[in-house]
């Protein structure tokens, strides 16, 4: 891997750790008085929001770390570890993070465009993750690798979403300015997928089952 590639990986992992560890530090006390949750009091009163919220944020934090190491050659060549992390990632997405995100999406109050963005993103996330699982079960390794890249690109949207919120806040009017959150919602995952499609297109290396 080139020096640039290594630096980008380190940079990405740094922000993954910041997000994941920050999530556990901030929400592991299960209190409802954080800045984000203070805007969700009506949703919390329904009784549906908090279980979904915790499933999503804790599940996403774990799978972001697990999924990151799946693209390491050392992990890929370690069959037991690769399979264990793969099962953790797929189980976490399909049974915790994505279902939680679906419920949370129902309580979005940022307009139809933002609702549509998160709904499409989450549905693609489930579809790509399930497809990746079925592909590897049928020993279609190359297709599995490409599909997992797509899945992780959408998982990584949790990182890019918060990055763009920070960027818009520093350089502009944050998320409250008209249409800003709509732009951020799509910006958090569409470029990720486009980048992965470029990688998939030009990656000609054959992958073998281990």
pLDDT digits (tens, 9 = 90+) for 137-187: 999 999 999 999 999 999 999 999 989 988 888 887 777 766 888 999 999
How far apart (Å, rounded) are the C-alpha atoms in residues 172 and 174? 6
How far apart (Å, rounded) are the C-alpha atoms in residues 140 and 188? 29
Per the confidence metrics, is the pTM higher than 0.95? no
pLDDT digits (tens, 9 = 90+) for 48-74: 999 999 999 999 999 999 999 998 889
Contact (CB, 8 A) for 157 and 121: yes
pLDDT digits (tens, 9 = 90+) for 85-102: 999 999 999 999 999 999
End-to-end CA distance of the chain: 21
Q: With DSSP H G I counted as helix, E B as strand and the rest as coil, what are the percentages for the chain, rounded to 5?
A: 75, 0, 25
**Top-confidence residue, 22 or 121:** 121
| E strand or H helix that includes residue 122 | helix 112-137
How confident is the model at residue 209, as a pLDDT? 56
CB-based burial label for 10 (10 Å; 0-12, 13-18, 19+) = exposed
């Amino acid at each position: 891997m080139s020096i640039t590639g290594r630096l980008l990986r380190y940079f990405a992992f740094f922000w993954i750790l910041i997000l994941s560890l920050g999530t556990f530090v901030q929400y592991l006390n299960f209190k409802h008085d954080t800045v984000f949750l203070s805007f969700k009091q009506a949703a919390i009163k329904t009784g549906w929001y908090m279980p979904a919220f915790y499933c999503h944020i804790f599940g996403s934090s774990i799978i972001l770390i697990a999924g990151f190491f799946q693209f390491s050659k050392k992990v890929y060549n370690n069959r037991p570890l690769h399979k264990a992390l793969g099962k953790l990632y797929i189980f976490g997405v399909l049974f915790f993070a994505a279902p939680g995100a679906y419920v949370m999406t129902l309580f979005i109050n940022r307009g139809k465009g933002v609702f549509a963005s998160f709904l499409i993103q989450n549905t693609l996330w489930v579809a790509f993750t399930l497809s990746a699982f079925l592909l590897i079960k049928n020993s279609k390794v190359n297709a599995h690798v490409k599909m997992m890249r797509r899945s992780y690109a959408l998982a990584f949207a949790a990182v890019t979403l918060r990055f763009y919120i920070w960027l818009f806040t520093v350089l502009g009017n944050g998320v409250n300015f008209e249409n800003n959150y709509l732009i951020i919602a799509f910006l958090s995952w569409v470029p990720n997928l486009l980048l992965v499609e470029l990688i998939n297109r030009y990656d000609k290396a054959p992958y073998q089952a281990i």
